[in-house]
């Protein structure tokens, strides 16, 4: 490895710009190539950053053949994450793959196997892991303050937020809202409690908004879910209730909640009467006295807050580059996100079959 970390970009659509806007700020990164299957797209992308001498390709295989990379960003749509990630790992690059990890669980398994086989790490692009408030919530739950957490519920959701583009085409995105923003909810709820292994899922998914011309201009092109709900059993007698929407007639699907034997944390999703955004509450009981408190979002850095507030996208991209320098570990390990993908896979299957399904995760 030279002075600079050599990075390639695979897929140069919308989100590749968020990667690039950070890479170009890092003095220890050199962009060595980009590829996109749409002819001319990778060239135009690089030119936009004045990288006119950096080669552009129309396939990941051509990029691999022609440039040496220490790391690569996979920013393609979901159904090509696995193919591109595996090719790049095999070529000797550490990989930051965008969320959701893949379309199918089997693809995710193959991605982890490729990472193990090649000794190159695979990290998944969940930037909320680097959000200051999220890290506060994680640290409180991980401290054991809630006792045994036995119930977790996701909340939030969008009232009107169907993204369009490749996100509503199942051949490119695989699934809709479930994979697009549902994967964040699963990660938020389960990373904090150590990602217990999922066992069974009973789910429903619908498309009432995407298929209605009153709410979406091209219902004929819409062939994914825009709402899903699931009851998930996790190892260790933990229940997880999942809800997610791209569109609905409500401001929120409710609070995000962790219930433990000694306390609870609730994220109140939405705005209060003063238009303040999501607030986080901690509940406990000391000697029979109920104690309810708000967790301050803007606590200045001090000896007890182990993390400083910083932009979560910068955190995501910086942690990837830093991990390349030390040959790992992955900031958001693919091995952990395998359980996220297994739940998505279970929800997808259960909703299609209209019955509860078992989750079986192949040996890595």
Ligand X SMILES: NC(=O)c1ccc[n+]([C@@H]2O[C@H](COP(=O)([O-])OP(=O)(O)OC[C@H]3O[C@@H](n4cnc5c(N)ncnc54)[C@H](O)[C@@H]3O)[C@@H](O)[C@H]2O)c1
> Which residues contact ligand X (rule: CB under 6 A)?
10-16, 35-38, 41, 60, 75-78, 80, 83-84, 98-99, 125, 127, 165-166, 180
Distance set, CA 215 to CA 118, 212, 219 (Å): 47, 6, 9
State the chain's maximal CA–CA distance in angstroms. 69
- The nearest distance, CB 310 to ligand X, in angstroms, is 16
Residue nearest to ligand X (CB): 13
- The residue among 37 and 145 lying less far from ligand X, judged by its C-beta, is 37
- Quote the least distance from Cβ 281 to ligand X, whole Å: 26
Q: Which is nearer to ligand X, 107 or 140 (CB)?
A: 107
> Nearest 5°: phi and psi at 5?
-80, 125
State the Cα–Cα distance between residues 9 and 35, nearest whole angstrom: 6
Smallest gap from residue 303 Cβ to ligand X (A): 32
Distances in Å between the Cα of 153 and the Cα atoms of 200, 258, 259 are 16, 7, 9
Question: Nearer Cβ to ligand X, position 178 or 359?
Answer: 178
Q: What pairs with residue 56 in β-bridges? A: 34
Residue 109 CB, nearest distance to ligand X (Å)? 18
Three-state secondary structure call for residue 129? helix
Cα–chain center distance at 177: 12
Give, in order, the Cα–Cα distances in Å from 256 to each of 157, 244, 252, 260, 309: 11, 11, 10, 13, 22
Whichever of 60 and 342 has its CB closer to ligand X, that residue is 60
Q: How far is the CB of 143 from ligand X (least distance, A)?
A: 28
Label the pairing between strands 256-260 and 263-268: antiparallel
| Residue with Cβ nearer ligand X (126 or 258) | 126
């Amino acid at each position: 490895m030279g002075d600079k970390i050599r990075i390639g970009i695979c897929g140069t659509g919308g989100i590749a710009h968020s990667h690039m806007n950070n890479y170009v700020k890092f003095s220890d990164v050199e962009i060595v190539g980009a590829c996109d299957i749409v002819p001319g797209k990778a060239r135009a992308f690089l030119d936009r950053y004045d990288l006119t001498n950096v080669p552009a390709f129309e396939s990941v295989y051509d990029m691999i053949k022609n440039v040496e990379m220490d790391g690569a960003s996979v920013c393609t749509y979901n159904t090509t994450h696995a193919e591109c990630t595996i090719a790049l790992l095999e070529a000797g690059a550490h990989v930051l793959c965008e969320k959701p990890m893949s379309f199918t669980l089997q693809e995710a398994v193959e991605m982890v196997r490729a990472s193990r086989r090649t000794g190159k790490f695979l990290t998944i692009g969940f930037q909320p892991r680097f959000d200051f408030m999220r890290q506060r919530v994680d640290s409180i739950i991980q401290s054991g303050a809630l006792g045994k957490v036995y119930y977790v519920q996701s909340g939030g959701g969008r009232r009107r937020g169907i993204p369009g583009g490749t996100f509503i085409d199942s051949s490119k995105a695989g699934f809709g809202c479930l994979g697009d923003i549902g994967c964040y909810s699963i990660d938020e709820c389960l990373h904090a409690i150590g990602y217990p292994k999922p066992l069974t899922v009973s789910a429903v998914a619908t498309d009432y908004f995407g298929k209605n011309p009153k709410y979406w201009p091209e219902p004929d092109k819409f062939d994914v879910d825009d709402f899903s709900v699931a009851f998930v059993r996790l190892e260790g007698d933990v229940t997880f209730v999942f809800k997610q929407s791209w569109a609905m007639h409500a401001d929120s699907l409710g609070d995000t909640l962790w219930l433990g034997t000694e306390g609870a944390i609730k994220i109140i999703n939405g705005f209060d009467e003063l238009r303040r955004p999501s607030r986080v509450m901690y509940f406990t009981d000391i000697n029979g006295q109920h104690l309810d408190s708000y967790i301050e979002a803007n606590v200045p850095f001090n000896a007890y807050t182990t993390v400083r507030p910083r932009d979560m996208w910068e955190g995501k991209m910086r942690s990837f580059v830093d991990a390349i320098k030390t040959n790992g570990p992955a900031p958001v390990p693919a091995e952990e996100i395998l359980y996220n993908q297994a739940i998505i896979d279970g929800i997808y299957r259960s909703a299609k079959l209209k019955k509860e399904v078992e989750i079986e995760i192949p040996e890595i």
